[in-house]
Amino acid sequence: MRVIDVRGLRYRYPDGTQALDGIDFHLDAGECVALFGANGSGKTTFVLHLNGLLQGEGAIEICGRPLTRETHADARAKVGLVFQDSDEQLFLPTVLEDVAFGLLNQGVAPEQAVAQARTALQQAGMSGLLGKAPYHLSSGEKRRVAIAGVLVMQPEILILDEPTTSLDPPAQRGLVDLLRSLPQAKLLVTHDAAFASALATRAVFFERGKIVGEGSVDEIVRRFNWSAQARIPELR
């Protein structure tokens, strides 16, 4: 089943920059796709369209329903967006309140919201932090709590924007394990080729608002020379 289907998406920033220039993209249920591309190539702008935070021209369907102004609320429940800067995502004073935030917005009763938030935190491996202030968490913990705050809304699609930023290697490994255990379809915006190849089955490459390449992660990394390590001449 197609959970995301995008056709001919175009978006121009108010200052006139053409950020997206005809994007065609699809994501199937259970699939994990990596979005590669230079900074400013339109990756983040693209994912902000997928739950209606930005509105461009073109057609977007989320789980078979066209995304319009009327279906925003629905799309925001189905598409869970985990932002790059967890400090921006975790704005409430305690972990529990922050995780319950999305549920309360959906009209879930407080007691039930608390129960579901506990479950989501457990799922994200963060059950011991309920009353803590987000400021006191480590980067890895913040990221997990941010993911819990999205998981709690039971989305069909998870979008993670640069999820490995400022995580140490053990925390990155933990994140890979956590994401593997989640059944949702996933979209990873990342520069980290190793992280992507651990999770994604497919990759697309963005350049100046267009998708210019598609294939397996290894293929794309090789084709666009998209690895942090300097290319070592292969031994013969």
Partner 1 sequence: MHHVVVERWSRGSSPLHMRDARSKLGALLVFLIAVSTTSPRAQLAFAGYATLLLAALFAARLPLLSVLTRAALVLPFSATFALITWWAGDPARAVSLAEKSFLSGLAVLLTIATTPWNDLVHALGWMGVPRFLLLVIQFVYRYLFVISEQAQHMRLAAISREGARRARSVRFRAATGAVGVLFARSWERAEGIHRAMLARGFTGHFLSLERPHFHAADILFFFAAASAAVTVRLAL
**Smaller CB distance to partner 1: residue 188 or 217?**
188
- Whichever of 92 and 176 has its CB closer to partner 1, that residue is 92
101 vs 205, beta carbon nearer partner 1: 101
Nearer to partner 1, 152 or 220 (CB): 152
**Shortest gap between Cβ of 137 and partner 1 (angstroms)?**
12
On whether the CB atoms of residues 138 and 111 are closer than 8 A, the answer is no
Smallest gap from Cβ 90 to partner 1, in A, equals 8
Q: Least Å distance between CB 153 and partner 1?
A: 7
Nearest to 197 by CA among 1, 32, 27: 32
Q: 78 or 175, CB closer to partner 1?
A: 78
Q: What is the spatial distance between Cα 60 and Cα 220, in angstroms, rounded to a whole number?
A: 25
Q: Where do contacts with partner 1 occur on this chain (CB under 8 A)?
A: 48, 51, 53, 73, 76-77, 81, 83, 85, 87-89, 91-94, 96-97, 100-102, 104-106, 110-111, 113-114, 131, 133-136, 149-150, 153
Minimum distance from residue 106 beta carbon to partner 1 (Å): 6
Furthest-apart CA atoms within the chain: distance in Å: 65
CB-nearer residue toward partner 1: 39 or 225: 39
- The single-letter code of the amino acid at 97 is E
Shortest spacing between CB 188 and partner 1, in angstroms: 17
- Kindly state the tokens that stand for 226: 């998209």
Contact status, residue 206 vs residue 212, Cβ threshold 8 Å: yes
Q: How far is the CB of 194 from partner 1 (least distance, A)?
A: 27
| C-alpha neighbours within 13 Å on the C-beta side of residue 30 | 1
From residue 8, alpha-carbon distances to 2, 14, 57, 136, 155 in Å are 17, 19, 8, 43, 25
Which residues neighbour 202 within 8 Å (Cβ) at sequence distance 6 or greater? 31, 32, 33, 34, 214, 215, 216, 217
CB nearer partner 1, residue 100 or residue 217: 100
CA distance 195 to 198: 5
Give least dist CB 1 to partner 1, A.
23
| SS3 label, residue 59 | strand
